[in-house]
């Protein structure tokens, strides 16, 4: 019996240590993996391996915390989330929703690699997903979620972002660039696997009626999607690194779109086809109003 107690004692102590206030070194690690851009919550992004390697699978734990830590300094998990709005008129209080609790986009800093995902919710604020990132270099992870207080109304949608680098590992793939170098592109755009230039082709797609002036509101229409495509999504990345996720209208191919500033934007219309993610990127210039 004594041997059994001694054998389990280290595990018990390890569990106790997890509830203690973090050390200065631990605080540095927490700060390094805490995303920016949130106002009501905190999001920590952890990958395994700690530094992702090109061409290899990396598993990601995306954990949401309350904006206020516990009195003892330990982190307080956010346990309740609202489904993200997916469609419906903004004038209707009963807009339709989907059970997606989190959206995530892993995008290279130059916009050449675009990897969307819908992480799975596990427990205690943790969402999990995985990516195989094809090329080394600098990336930004964007994460969208909507916290909710149990029994009360949902809080505003949070859009977090976290910058990191992907190591080359054993990959000989060309590194992505540190910044975008975009020029207006042709419309319709080629549809490829992940939206990559060298991805498997699947036709062309046009994104019409995008607003051309900053602050202008419009309804963009996606046309030419292959047969069998469902759940088309539309996002845009500015040259400055801000991501915008546009909500679909009930028809599923129209989107309310507005660009806040004059800049070049890379707009992706993306969807799943035969279980694989496809995207059509379009570089779109927005002038000052």
**According to the model, what pLDDT value does residue 93 have?**
38
pTM of the model: 0.87
Give the pLDDT confidence of 65-75 residue by residue, as tens digits: 998 878 877 78
Question: For the chain, which domains are there?
Answer: 22-166 (2.60.40.1930), 189-286 (2.60.40.10)
- 286 contacts 265 by C-beta, under 8 angstroms: yes
CA 206 centroid distance within chain: 23
Residue 89, pLDDT > 70, answer no
pLDDT band at 87 (very low <50, low <70, confident <90, very high): very low
3 state SS of 17: helix
Give the pLDDT confidence of 155-192 residue by residue, as tens digits: 899 999 999 999 998 999 999 999 999 999 989 999 99
Compute how many other C-beta atoms are within 10 angstroms of the C-beta atom of residue 223.
Answer: 13
Give the pLDDT confidence of 45-83 residue by residue, as tens digits: 999 999 999 999 999 999 999 988 788 777 889 989 998
């Amino acid at each position: 019996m004594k041997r059994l107690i001694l054998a389990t004692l280290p595990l018990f102590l390890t569990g106790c240590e997890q509830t203690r206030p973090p050390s200065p070194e631990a605080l540095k690690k927490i700060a390094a993996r805490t995303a920016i851009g949130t106002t009501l919550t905190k999001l920590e992004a952890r990958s395994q391996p700690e530094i992702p390697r090109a061409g290899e699978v990396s598993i990601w734990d995306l954990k949401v915390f309350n904006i206020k830590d516990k009195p003892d300094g330990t982190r307080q998990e956010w346990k309740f989330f609202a489904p993200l709005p997916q469609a419906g008129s903004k004038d209707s209080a009963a807009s339709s929703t989907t059970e997606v609790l989190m959206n995530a986009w892993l995008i290279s800093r130059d916009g050449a690699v675009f990897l969307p995902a819908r992480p799975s919710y596990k427990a205690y604020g943790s969402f999990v997903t995985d990516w195989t990132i094809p090329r080394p270099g600098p990336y930004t992870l964007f994460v969208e979620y909507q916290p909710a207080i149990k029994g009360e109304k949902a809080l505003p949608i949070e859009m977090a972002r976290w910058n990191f680098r992907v190591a080359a590992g054993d990959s000989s793939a060309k590194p992505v660039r540190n910044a975008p170098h975009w020029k207006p592109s042709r419309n319709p755009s080629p549809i490829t696997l992940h939206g990559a230039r060298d991805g498997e082709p699947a036709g062309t797609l046009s994104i019409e009626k995008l607003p051309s002036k900053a602050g202008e509101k419009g309804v963009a229409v996606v046309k030419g999607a292959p047969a069998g495509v469902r759940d088309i999504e539309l996002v845009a990345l500015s040259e400055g690194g801000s991501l915008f996720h546009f909500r679909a209208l009930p028809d599923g191919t129209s989107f309310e779109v507005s660009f806040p500033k004059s800049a070049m934007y890379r707009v992706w219309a993306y969807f799943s086809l035969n279980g694989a993610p496809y995207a059509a990127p379009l570089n779109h210039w927005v002038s000052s109003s």
